[in-house]
Structure formats: C-alpha cells, structure tokens
Amino acid sequence: MSVSRGRDVHFDVSGRLIAAQEWGDSNGLPVLALHGWLDNSASFVPLAGELKNAHLIALDMAGHGQSSHKAAGLVYNIWEDISDIFAVADQLGWDSFHLLGHSRGAIISALAAGTMPERVKAVFMVDAIVPQPLAPEKAPQQLAKSIREISNKQQASPRVFDSIEKGIEARKKGFHKMTEAASRLVVERGVKPVPGGYSWSSDARLMAASSFKLSEEQIKAFINAIAAPVELFIADSGLPGMLDKQRHVLDWFADLNLHELEGGHFLHMENQVETIAEVINSYMLSNA
C-alpha cells in the first residue's frame, strides 16, 4: 500500500479558506473526497495511493484540518457543506464530478448528489448512509439544544497536549478506535501549536448539536433524487447498529451496490484500502 501525502491546494469560498490535498492530474476523472467528523483530508492518504485514473481533491471540510472556522455564533449543519462542495467544483472548472465520502462525508455526499444530481456522476460512500432523522415536532427542542451547546463550546478551554505523540495516542483510543498509522495521519494535519504544546485545529463547535435536522421524508426526497450509481461500503465493526437501523433506506436508492466488509469505522484507511480501491478503480477504468 502506497502512503504519500498530497499536494496542498486552497480555495476561497465566500471569504473562508477551504484547504485540500490533491493527487493525480487534470487528465484523470474528477473526484472530490469528503472526510468524517473531526477528521481531515489526510484520512484519504492511504486510499489515494491506490486509485488509478483519478484526479482526487480531498477537502478539509469547514472547521476541520487546515480550513477556516466559521464566524462566531454559527453552527456546522451538514447541508451547509454542500454549497462549499459545489463552490470548490466551480473553481476547479468541474461541471460534473464524482464524490467519495467517509462517515459524515458519506452522508454529505449523498445529500449533495440529490441536491444537484445532474452534476454528480457517481458516489462512493464509506461506513455511513444518511443522517439520523428527527420528527418535525421535535424541532424546537433541537434548536434550543444547539443554541446552548454552541455557547458552551465557544467558551470552553481547548485541550492541550504537550506533544503530538500524546494527541496521536488520544485519537487512537477515541470512540472509533484507529490504528497508530491512521491516527498519525489525521492528527499530524489536525493539530496546531499553542502555548504548552498542541491543540486540535478543528472547531470545538463541531461537537455541538445541529440547529435543525431533516425529517425522514426530507431525507428520502434527497435520496430519491440521486441519479448517479452509488457504491456503499459498510464495516461490520463500524458505526454500531447503523446498517440494521437504516437497511430500509437502501431501497430509496435507484442504483446502489452494497459491500459489507470486515473491519472498523476507518476501513478505508486500514484493512480494506485495496478492496475499496479495486471497486473505485473498476468504475474509473470503465468510464474513462
């Protein structure tokens, strides 16, 4: 498995910096990669080295990695990332492109493909399908929770590690366990120097509740609108119970292939890199 960091590229989206890494050249098929919650573009480094015929741009989503944080008081709702995706694609001159997403990035990919189906040629989703729905009558409580949590997160003191190695060790033992190699990739791009050591570069408000959540009917409308083929990779030891809870959602996709694979939530960085790359490469080569 080849592991090589990409070329740093940057985009200006409405006055905010969106940082990214790039692999391949303009002759390859255009692919935008969207990482998971509190990760960054480095989560695609292992997979990037295995992809063929792809011009891959992996973003640091808003508030993550080396990208700008939002202005004070604002929330990180997943649908707001969709406008960033198409803004970056516009700057790249991509009228149509492919989406590759992991976890939160997979969910955003699905919603984006339903938002502008004429622009998305294929979607590759790793260990997530759709957001958890919220009944409309619970919207007031959701908004109140978001307001309280945003205020609390903005006032909280950041966690400081006296070395990057301490951060790598902490990330390895997080809610979703990671190998040391995977943790190192994500952490080295996801910390910043501060007095006393290093702190996470991601915005603490990412841990606050969304201001609103989509209902099941709204989510279904997005999925029904997808015109692109979808390849879905699900880890047998990934998000607990996710596939059991959302298996009925698979019927909403017009063209979906499900790949149930052995491994944890970060299977695209760890034991299933070659398997996922083989599926993507097969598509890329047949659509060159």
Active site residues: 103
Burial class (CB in 10 A: 0-12, 13-18, 19+), 179: middle
Q: Please give the Cα distance from 183 to 230 (Å, whole number).
A: 28
Cα-Cα-Cα-Cα dihedral sign, residues 159, 163, 167, 169: negative
Q: Please give the Cα distance from 145 to 209 (Å, whole number).
A: 7
Helix residue ranges, H only, the chain: 45-48, 80-92, 104-115, 139-155, 164-172, 180-189, 216-224, 242-246, 273-286
Going by C-alpha positions, the residue among 103, 153, 157 that lies closest to residue 131 is: 103
Burial class (CB in 10 A: 0-12, 13-18, 19+), 45: buried
φ and ψ at residue 90, rounded to 5 degrees: -60, -45
Answer for the pair 39, 64: CB distance below 8 angstroms, yes or no. yes
Cα–Cα–Cα angle for 176, 177, 178, nearest 5°? 115
- DSSP labels for 234-258? EEEESSTTHHHHHGGGGGG-SSEEE
Give, in order, the Cα–Cα distances in Å from 23 to each of 42, 197, 198.
12, 31, 28
Residue 17 bridge partners (DSSP): 12
